Structure 1
Amino acid sequence: MSAAILHVPDEQRDRYLPGVLAVAASEQQRAQSQMIHHEAEFFTRYYGAGGDTCVAVLAGRVVAYALLATPERLHAIWTPRAARLGLERGRCGCVVQVAVAPEARRRGLATALLERLRDVARARGLAHLFATVAPDNVASVRTFERSGFRRFELATVYSEQVVRALFHGRLEPVESVQ
């Protein structure tokens, strides 16, 4: 059985939020997890003007999710980097988080979620996506690279002062998306 990859409409947020929180909690409880802990309110930011949430649903249960920040919600770390790359900040978004439940890993769900998130970003008129990944998270680094992102910097970022590999992905125009 394959998972359904869904873009969660704003009006269905409450239906999928408990599953997103469960996947995040399962990741944060892993001893080797490098995910920054966030309260439930954090996950509600990525709806409406602030962004989008996509989920992978298997047997009626959320087993993975990906969060997209729109320019309105884009973290301040990206403003100087967008300028340095010659990008219009208003056309940039960010893949905030991608997480897959341990029992659903190695099935291509992160790749499928990134593909869906890229489609959603294109539909919003975005031309570029940024992302941060723990540099020693080999599986995530490979997933982003296979999904068309390129690593352009290693930096200490966010208020948590964590080291992350910074990625940039260029989106094709909406007209070329099938």
Structure 2
Amino acid sequence: MSASLTDIEYLKSCLKSYPDFPKPGILFYDVFSLLSQPKAFNLLVDLLVSRAKSYDPPVTAIVALDSRGFLFGPIIALKLNIPFVPIRKKNKLPGKVLKATYQLEYGEDTLEIQQDALEKGQAVLLVDDLIATGGTLEAGCNLVKQLGCTVSSCLVVMELNGLKGRDNVSAPVDSLIQY
């Protein structure tokens, strides 16, 4: 299923936005507003799964970013019958982990992945809800690469084009909805 303009426009019409959240000057697009509407949520899942099936070579694992990537990553993995692996914020995963620190507009943050989460050589689809500046996605790409795997693509629900985040990501970025 490829996304038609009508599908994307429908999803956009279901998205709520909040000006000046979480701080003045930010227009926040709330992905939860799609999940609260079963028709929109079903369409979104169908489109994400369709995109995930289209990559060549086929992806062999879905890796999603904490926390809203977790809303979509497990569903895609389940529909493709492949493993799901979380990347979490620091100190949330048990066992031995690899870390990647990245810059935020107000400081830095760290993401982690379990060292035994993926098998070397896997083709990974990295999933999140949104790409803004690209820092979080790039940190995720770095973790996947540290495990000896390839990021086939990063799949996001929304992209804020004006921030040029995809320019900061070392893997292809595929977004359904663009602002």
After TM superposition, the score normalised by the length of structure 2 is: 0.32
TM-score (norm 1): 0.32
Of the two structures, which has the highest relative contact order with CA contacts closer than 8 Å and spacing of 6 or more? 1
More helix by share: 1
